[in-house]
């Protein structure tokens, strides 16, 4: 469980935990035909939440993926 939301950007969430920064990007729902839908990342109660809208899910050709970008960077002390 991530403990500290450091900020929200247009790209997603910035979290800090155990000596690292975690950039957790908004997700993209992509179906088998390449149709993509935005899935905003949210944060609540120490958890990252990605909730895809119903319409893209029901209209998708499967298989489909939910694809956020995650970048972990160590926090270095001066």
Task: Give strand pairing partners of 66.
Answer: 29
Q: Pseudo-torsion of CA 48, 52, 54, 55, nearest 10°?
A: 160
* In-domain check, residue 78: no
User: What pLDDT was estimated at residue 1?
Assistant: 53
How would residue 18 be classed by pLDDT, with cut points 50, 70 and 90? confident
Q: Exposure of 43 by Cβ count < 10 A (0-12 exposed, 13-18 middle, 19+ buried)?
A: middle
* In-domain check, residue 25: yes
* In-domain check, residue 38: yes
Compute the average pLDDT of residues 52-70. 95
Q: What is the pLDDT of residues 20-59, one digit of tens each?
A: 889 999 999 999 999 999 999 999 888 899 999 999 999 9
- Count the domains in the chain: 1
* In-domain check, residue 22: yes
> What range does the domain containing 28 cover?
4-72
* In-domain check, residue 17: yes
Q: Exposure of 27 by Cβ count < 10 A (0-12 exposed, 13-18 middle, 19+ buried)?
A: buried
Name the more confident of 33 and 76: 33
Give the pTM.
0.79
């Amino acid at each position: 469980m991530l403990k500290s939301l450091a900020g929200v950007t247009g790209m997603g969430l910035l979290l800090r935990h155990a000596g690292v920064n975690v950039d957790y990007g908004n997700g993209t729902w992509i179906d088998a035909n390449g149709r993509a839908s935005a899935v905003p990342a949210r944060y609540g109660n120490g958890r990252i939440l990605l909730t895809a809208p119903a319409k893209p899910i029901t209209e998708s050709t499967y298989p489909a993926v939910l694809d956020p970008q995650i970048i972990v960077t160590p926090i270095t002390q001066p």
